Amino acid sequence: MKKAALIIISLVLLFSLFSGCAVNSGISGFSEKGESFFAGFGKCEIKIPDYEPLYIAGYRNGYEITGVLDPLYSRAVALSVGGKTIVAVAVDCVGLVSGTVNDIKREMKKNPLLSEVEITVSATHTHAGIDTMGLWGKVAEDGKSPAFMEAVKASAVAAAVAAASDMREGSLYFSKASVKELLYDSRMPKAYDENVYQIRFEPSDGVAGFRIINLGAHAEALRSENTLASPDYPAHTGKYIFEKTGDEYIYFAGALGGLIYTKMQKDANGVELAPTENVKKTGERIGAALLSVTEERKLSPTLSFATVSVTLPIENNTFVALRALGVLENEFVYNGAGKLGVSAKSRLSLLRIGEVTAALVPGELFPELAYGLPEFTEFYPVNGRVKNPKTFKEILNTDEFLVFGLTDDEIGYIVPPNDFLLHESSPYLEEARDGYGRNHYEETNSLSPHTAGLIAKALEELAASPFMSKRG
């Protein structure tokens, strides 16, 4: 989440707002094996109201949208094996907090097609989307439009219903392509996944299918001065693939904390393209990389899912204040944990499709927490004596896995504990600057230094659960 202008709030914490039942830490899920996959795809455009101010999310306060460059959508895929189904939704927005996600899921469960299925809801994290968290309106004001939020929820539900109504038998194929030359890590250490991944569904009836696309880079190719609504580069990746193959797409943001984004593209003379051309070129290059794949791995028809509630102590006063003011709608519980006695109630999940495992993470994960550091790196963490948790790579015991970030919640950046630094006098409000000259911006938009360890612990529990060890 890009930082909104600093809001100085003086208030007494109203803990009665955060009271709630004890968190259910039990793991639930399923594991199934069948003869083939059944899958469906659905999408629904998000209707943008034209009668009230709407703010571009991701950079600064008070930037009203001036038009629509590319339509915003909710997209959904349904995957089923052996009678068990999961529906995964991705919404073109900067982030959806747990309160909003829970509203969406409640509406979905009212439909008979969705009442018995597992559901996940992700945000594509476009920085050309409309404020869905409340952080980018005028200073000290909620930037969310009630009408637009209702449109987002309705679109997500409609996309999920469409996907569940479109189930067809077919095969799934997994592949990846390097897009290293397009990516940049703006914070040391330079650690990120250089690949874009796809899971391609090929229906047995011979008609076009869909592709699940996953890349660990912020969707901000339109850059910070933009005031046009757009899903950013994923829309152009999807359009390129659709025009070449007829396949639809759904996009999930990967481990992009730290902060990973795409480089500006240049013309034949080496001059940087205008943002509206840059976003198109970036998306097309990612699409071309995916279509250049010559080797795909056919996935065996097994489907496993495991999910668990997690409680994450909050030490960020701004988050608590914004929740008390009704701006943020994350689920909070007053449980006496951490320095403030308040925790965020969130969710972590694991999804295995054939031989491919995806970690569904409720925020913006730093890549080094997923993959570790490169073998040779000049990096000096500010808390060198603090030990980071096991990496996702170590926990999942594989070199190849996917991260679907901003899923079922947006809790901000998940920062490595050994490189977590706060401003001495204004923690979580101002950026700290370390002795190596690095700004620690991401910490100002994080819950606490304990988040990464708690997420890793929950992931270990999920990986060891019968749903994952059973392997269908």
Percent of the chain residues topping a pLDDT of 90? 91
Residue 93 scores a pLDDT above 70: yes
Q: Which residue has the higher pLDDT, 399 or 264?
A: 264
Q: What is the pLDDT of residue 14?
A: 31
Counted residue by residue, the chain has a size of 472
Q: What is the pLDDT of residue 60?
A: 94
Question: What rounded mean pLDDT belongs to the chain?
Answer: 93
Domain membership of residue 419 as a residue range? 1-472
Please compute the mean of the pLDDT values over residues 413-426 and round it to a whole number. Answer: 98
Handedness of CA 389, 184, 428, 336 (dihedral sign): negative
Say if residue 112 is preceded by a cis peptide, omega within 30 of 0: no
Residue 5 scores a pLDDT above 80: no
pLDDT digits (tens, 9 = 90+) for 288-307: 999 999 999 999 999 999 99
DSSP code of residue 171: E
Q: What is the pLDDT of residue 378?
A: 85
Please compute the mean of the pLDDT values over residues 453-465 and round it to a whole number. Answer: 98
Q: What is the pLDDT of residue 134?
A: 97
DSSP code of residue 56: B
Residue 140 scores a pLDDT above 90: no
pLDDT digits (tens, 9 = 90+) for 432-447: 999 999 999 999 999 9
Q: What is the pLDDT of residue 3?
A: 45
The reported pTM is: 0.94
Q: What is the pLDDT of residue 4?
A: 44
pLDDT digits (tens, 9 = 90+) for 143-198: 999 999 999 999 999 999 999 999 999 999 999 999 999 999 999 999 999 999 99
DSSP code of residue 300: P
Tokens 């795409």, residue?
A: 262
Please compute the mean of the pLDDT values over residues 372-398 and round it to a whole number. Answer: 94
Instruction: Work out how many domains the chain is built from and give that number.
Output: 1
**Residue 212 to residue 223: CA distance in whole angstroms:** 25
Please compute the mean of the pLDDT values over residues 319-324 and round it to a whole number. Answer: 94
CB 281 within 8 A of CB 273: yes
Please compute the mean of the pLDDT values over residues 380-396 and round it to a whole number. Answer: 96
Please compute the mean of the pLDDT values over residues 382-394 and round it to a whole number. Answer: 96
Please compute the mean of the pLDDT values over residues 192-221 and round it to a whole number. Answer: 98
Q: What is the pLDDT of residue 20?
A: 29
SS (H, E, C) the chain: CCCCCCCCCCCCCCHHHHCCCCCCCCCEEEEEECCCEEEEEEEEECCCCCCCCCEECCCCCCCECCEECCCCEEEEEEEEECCEEEEEEEECCCCCCHHHHHHHHHHHHCCCCCCCCEEEEEECCECCCECCCCCCCCCCCCCCCHHHHHHHHHHHHHHHHHHHCCCEEEEEEEEEEECHHHEEECCCCCCCCCEEEEEEEEECCCCCCEEEEEECCEECCCCCCCCEECCCHHHHHHHHHHHHHCCEEEEEECCCCCCEEECCCECCCCCECCHHHHHHHHHHHHHHHHHCCCCCEECCCEEEEEEEEEEEECCCHHHHHHHHCCCCCCCEEECCCCCCCEEEEEEEEEEEECCEEEEECCCEECHHHHHCCCCCCCCCCCCCCCCCCCCHHHHHCCCCCEEECCECCCCCEECCHHHCCCCCCCCCCCCEECCCCCEECHHHHCCCCCHHHHHHHHHHHHHCCHHHHCCC
Listed range (20-29, 160-169, 364-373, 407-416) with the worst mean pLDDT: 20-29
> What's the CA angle centered on 422, arms 93 and 366, to 5 degrees?
45
pLDDT digits (tens, 9 = 90+) for 243-275: 999 999 999 999 999 999 999 999 999 999 999
